[in-house]
A and B are shown apart, each in its own frame.
Chain A
């Protein structure tokens, strides 16, 4: 046993030594979007040290001993960010691998997804291989509708440390399709939201002893009140899913009345209130594919929603509900950006919508979003235009570490590659 342990330690040490990143990495010859939103720097050098970008620009000297990666004129962007997924909370759709929601019991706004995250989910390597390095992962329902609970910002590092910001935002869902959860009327959603904020505002004024036993006529228990304290204090945003113009306006009013930070998610009819959203500095998370009157709340859905909102000055970012929501969280956010460009958003605005904009919306701008010195070195070297579905990343770094682009899907492809067509041994031996 001892011998085994000693060997194991030795092997582990060796592996660690081999796997250790070189201290300094220099990416050279890049067409680098150092600050998304402005024109790229051609023939740029990006120096990575200690997990961060140390320097980025043209004509930089390469530090002695640096490992050099030649970008050969290819596009380099910050790693991308998806503003709404269930990454880490879902695997196969099977209930035992699905931790997105609670349906009954005491947990309402206090539902917090951070404890369920599975860094070994097969969704992560694929998302990384598609150029995603940050994502919001969020709850879909709690026992305290319209609140769904607390979402987190993830960093898509390899290994266990994927939590970037727990409790990054409180989420709530409004609208006709969710009204049955509040017994029928969307008005009840807004009444319950306002009541919860009122109760929390009273709660924060209580002393510690009183807080232990909240008042009799409270709808919210202590756990749910505690979860809402940072919201009423303006420390974290309340992210409200709202599609219809009337609901978006209610969200804006809520932000005004309670001096909250509000993010509107969905916002298919957001273009109708673009100026108001901009004036209130309310960021919007939208789905650029949404151009169908899919429900009565979405009659005004149109393909240029992203372009119209951005033109009005709204900070937009993307999330694509449906089958690709989490399982293709990287590819779909790239396609979403491309679709938005095809419908009037500028390319530079689209890149912002998958980097600096979500960074600002979810409060991680101090370390992610650009390739400026001091930021975490999340970056991608692309083999083409990142928004084209035919393109793919060639090199991905998350927090200064080059990550593997191998996925379970690629392993399956290798097993069943046409080159094995005449192999008498079953794929299980490959």
Chain B
């Protein structure tokens, strides 16, 4: 959210503050011989898993269906079957649901975990790993390179059912850099968390954050119109860069001198080639529609507007343009561009046929994304819409999978999809419900009732404050 007004958002009781506020470029670089394929490739390996059969559960499958007294079979790390008349095959682990609920694993498309790791220190308030706030265009930086894998917050949000995270750079720059999609598994290297073959993204930002960050330094941009000029100038350069590489590649001449690589333009050119999706931090309706026009002018695709507090004002336009909206249920008013936020935002976007998703931005929200969905659901119903739980769960599962371009692998409970599954103690939209078990690729990565499945970060190891009360 904000990149600069930390203190403004900080309650007096808060020792920490609200977090400051694009996917790893795997640079397939078709034909760009000099540009390497992702130099930091995923080394993710699923954790050991047993085939598992969960029966007697209410299933929200992420496809809009609700299966009462259903069962789900997880085999070889994939979902094998979902239904009401399944039998447990011999030799699988059987879990009696006893009326509990099952949903797909939650996908958080906007997180700063690892980039804004706990514990936060006063130094992080001055300079943090979430923003390279030294130039309005830092398309060359990768959030991947900022991630502290020992951030204890990964485990907190896993216990809230989050199985996939998109970690984004902050919003202080017009072009903040590349984001990365992670599997929410404890690991010693970030490569071991990287979601294999996920398409990269580029984070852009509209509005107050870039203009105040640079305007207050007496630099460009210092206005909304400056922001837009900044985007356009960069895309003009990116096109030119792409043209040079196209010309070089079309010669097929190994002796020809390749153009000089420019990491910033490399990212933008990959966007123009459709290899990187664009995620835009943008609150206001008028600015979002300007950005849709910028994208059309230069021929790239926006995957989603993030924060999008005014998405409800242009719900039909977002749907027509196939742009998702990543929103909070109820954040508002902490700055001018968030002043018109309403709680029925998500429901209105959904009602217009758009792709809406709830995102976290801060760990407190990341742990409780189902509560955000519940607030959005209740507010939509009170605004007169008919919304079912089986529909609302899509805001946390199927839609973010779509936005990330990973809907062929995650986001729904269908045979063949990755076995990213949450077994909830009850209705996931209730504040009293907790994730009992979380599966990623069929492995139990969290079990509320089994202390051996409560992974602890290295930071927390051996801390007397966490010990038994004297």
Contacts and interface: CB of A to CB of B under 8 A. Distances in A.
A413 B383 contact: yes
Given A294-B118, A295-B119, A389-B371, A321 B333 contact: no
B225 interface: no
Interface stretch (B2-10, B33-41, B52-60, B262-270): B2-10
Given A295-B120, A339-B431, A341-B431, A319 B330 contact: no
Given A245-B465, A390-B378, A327 B13 contact: no
B431 A389 contact: yes
Contacts of B223: none
Interface string A305-333: 00000000000000111111111100100
B330 A331 contact: yes
Contacts of B153: 292
Contacts of B313: 416, 427
A84 B344 CA distance: 27
B16 A298 contact: yes
B18 A342 contact: no
Nearest to B342: A409
A291 interface: yes
A84 B330 CA distance: 19
Interface in A321-356: 321-328, 331, 335, 338-339, 341-342
Nearest to B333: A327
Contacts of B316: 421
Nearest to A140: B12
Which of B332, B340, B341, B367 has the largest count of A CB atoms less than 10 A from its CB?
B332
Nearest to A299: B465
Interface in A248-286: 265-266, 269, 271-272, 274, 285
A417 B344 CA distance: 9
B469 interface: yes
Interface string A401-416: 0000000011011001
A109 interface: no
B281 interface: no
Given A322-B364, A323-B331, A388 B374 contact: yes
Which 10 A-B pairs give the minimum distances between C-beta atoms?
A321-B11, A338-B431, A321-B14, A300-B465, A390-B378, A294-B16, A325-B11, A140-B12, A299-B465, A389-B374
Given A138-B12, A292-B118, A323-B1, 10 more contacts: A92-B336, A178-B15, A295-B119, A302-B466, A326-B11, A327-B333, A327-B334, A328-B332, A338-B432, A409-B343
19 contacts: A93-B335, A100-B12, A123-B333, A138-B12, A140-B12, A175-B15, A241-B12, A269-B465, A292-B156, A298-B119, A322-B10, A323-B9, A323-B331, A323-B362, A328-B332, A341-B431, A388-B431, A390-B377, A419-B384
Interface of B: 1, 5, 8-18, 118-122, 152-153, 156, 312-313, 315-316, 329-336, 338-344, 348, 351-352, 362-364, 367-368, 371-372, 374-375, 377-378, 381-385, 429-434, 459-460, 463, 465-466, 469-470
